[in-house]
Chains A and B, each alone.
Chain A
């Protein structure tokens, strides 16, 4: 499972990005997306396009954690979202590892192309099924933990609303949360 986590400001500008892989089930914590290295922008396109759904879901769902909101089928990318009171949104893109036989039919679309070599087997329940209740729960824990760190960072006197978060401490906390829950 590979993850791409973004915090978007209320104007959709990203204020924090990180890509990481699962650490469960023997994972090494390195992200391996299905896109070729030259097409990493796809993560951002997918996240950006899921804002359509997030905007809709935020009015129909009472919680801050919106769970799994959107899917991008060609790359099997799943998006989970978390809202904060200040209007910033946490979006997590997760992509299960590619099955060996999986993606052959996508061949003609280079954008969606992927390499079978990145396949890793992961036995943890989180990786196996991105829409399972266990995954939802793990993502919720992850989001809550980040929310806590985010609030602390945002309260810093040197931080202005909408600025990029460059704190290495925040980054390491996110990494740790990822290791712990995902």
Chain B
């Protein structure tokens, strides 16, 4: 089943929770997928089988669900709060934030495991279906190692739906953000924005949401293998009358039959056999016997998973909520949301529950699967490919060969073979825009992806770099862009390397190539957006001068118009965050970028206000004030008159909207505002005697004819309008 000889055996337990099958199992939707694991106690999630979603909806092939690792959880929990104004010290913000985001990015590229279950198992797993989540510490102490599960059946449908899906992805993203905003606003309705309720929120939850969307929005594509399955779980249940036959049949289906993956996916992946035992209806001794038999047949890649088949309800003592997947693609999220709403109408909460014992079993299963089978398998593959292909290419003779090959293909092209452009290796198929999975190029790319998933960034970076030029010669632009992008990403993730300026330039160059190839040559907006976003986040987490590049890339995203209006605002905020994370050299007053950060925050506030989100606008405004705090002479007073005017108007507008949204009578507002304004105006007077101010101050003063009027009245005579007549 798997490739020659390699796989270290493991024993597999199947994971499905048996349920009653009332509805066609959901596993059939193309999208089902599952999650990633983390070690924490959460359980996996399955999407509940009964969901009404029509199978077609999914364009995306993968449904990556990743379960939440501990990090993720905390993220999630903070979401409900509006904690976006991070009040934390810059220091905290910078470090925590970047770690968090870094792990998010890393987890986004984790191995995919396909699930392929026999029909009866499918039925068993109705309600708590598949599962998943878990965590595994990979052998190297990565606590948050994650895997994602995908339903094999759905895999590969995506390409068909891709054209149409593509355009909509961005719209969908936008829609989700919108919904999220609405919800959040409803939640906050009464409460005061929790600026500090949670301590130091690091990056705004909305931004994280967007980031996750961006990272999970991409359907499986030929030019990168992250979404291609690394392993496939083949499951049968203890009710099956001819278990071994069934397994064999499933295997055949997956390799040659209807469930075969598209041609561009490498067919050699790990198969893992799972026997699901129904604790409530079947005899354990039978199952054990069967399991022994399986072990004999299939070696160690087997597992016995014991689950209960009755439906778990909230009221059961040991029920555990099925966690939702952290990595739903935008579509799934939308359909999921729709689903939840319908259920709410019916009086259920729509959240599937699992028995705790099942959850534990599933966790153990996934852990075993990952630690004993998947990771060794991947390591093994990387070693083999590295040996057989990469090292050959790297050596002198390899280099020579590739040059020679290039000349030779000139001849081949002349012979009219028709494949490959002149100068290309001929392995690239320009009609389908892909390499067949057996070609050295495709295997090297896969090897690089594997080593990336195993977090060997040095190896992956050097491999990407090596194949990148091959792709360029072949004019395989999608691959070229992908290799450039991932090369830069793995260099940035590698904690040891870097920090010299030259390298930074290389990285900028690579992102530049990637986004040019994606956008101009492939018109692949989601990927371009993903690579630019990764550039922003990873450069930002590098700190130092890299943060300026990060800000530049974020501006580039806005410039290209890759995101919708809300996305634009979030990116604006992100630019601010990038600049804010550049801190001055110790002991020196200069070197920070506070003014820039402040400016972008103000711009973001203005845009939020225009978008009608006063709460968010006020958070941005606060952030801006905090940022400007260090650079301005007096609190909240800008030295430049027009800036000051703009900022004041903005503040006032935000306040009015904000209070209005909360149901306060707007007319009361001036009263509360007065002290402020007055104070401010006095300060202003001291600093700047120009008459600009007066008009601004005038506004509130009219509303409540108080002291303000008097102040401004008396002031006037002292400051006759400036007529430029001072002296010659």
Contact = CB atoms under 8 A, between A and B. Distances in A.
B606 A111 contact: yes
Nearest to A106: B559
A166 B590 contact: no
Contact of B724 (A14, A59, A166): A166
B599 A49 contact: yes
Looking at B588, B594, B603, which has the most chain A CB atoms within 10 Å of its CB? B603
Interface in A153-182: 156, 158-159, 164, 166-169, 171
Contacts of B591: 55-56
B593 A52 contact: yes
Contacts of B603: 45, 109, 111
Interface string A119-154: 000000000000000000000000000000000000
A117 interface: no
Which 3 A-B pairs have CB atoms at the shortest separation, nearest pair first? A166-B726, A41-B642, A55-B590
Contact of A44 (B555, B564, B598, B640): B640
B90 interface: no
A107 interface: yes
B606 A168 contact: no
Contact of A109 (B568, B646, B727): B568
Given A45-B602, A108-B564, A158-B727, 12 more contacts: A41-B643, A44-B640, A48-B599, A49-B595, A51-B631, A56-B591, A73-B552, A73-B555, A74-B559, A107-B561, A108-B565, A158-B726
A110 interface: yes
B561 A168 contact: no
A12 interface: yes
A167 B631 CA distance: 30
A168 B728 contact: yes
Contacts of B592: 52
Contact of A13 (B564, B631, B687): B687
B186 interface: no
B560 A105 contact: yes
B639 A12 contact: yes
Interface residues of B, number: 47
A40 B643 CA distance: 9
A51 B728 CA distance: 30
Interface in B581-601: 588-596, 598-599
B599 A45 contact: yes
Interface in B621-666: 631, 633, 638-643, 645-646
Given A13-B687, A166-B727, A48 B638 contact: yes
A11 interface: yes
Contact of B646 (A14, A41, A49, A106): A41
Nearest to A70: B596
A158 B724 CA distance: 15
A55 B607 contact: no
B568 A168 contact: no
A49 B725 contact: no
B596 A169 contact: no
A159 B728 CA distance: 11
A14 B589 contact: no
Contacts of A46: 599
Given A52-B593, A56-B591, A156-B727, A14 B645 contact: no
Given A73-B559, A105-B559, A40 B606 contact: no
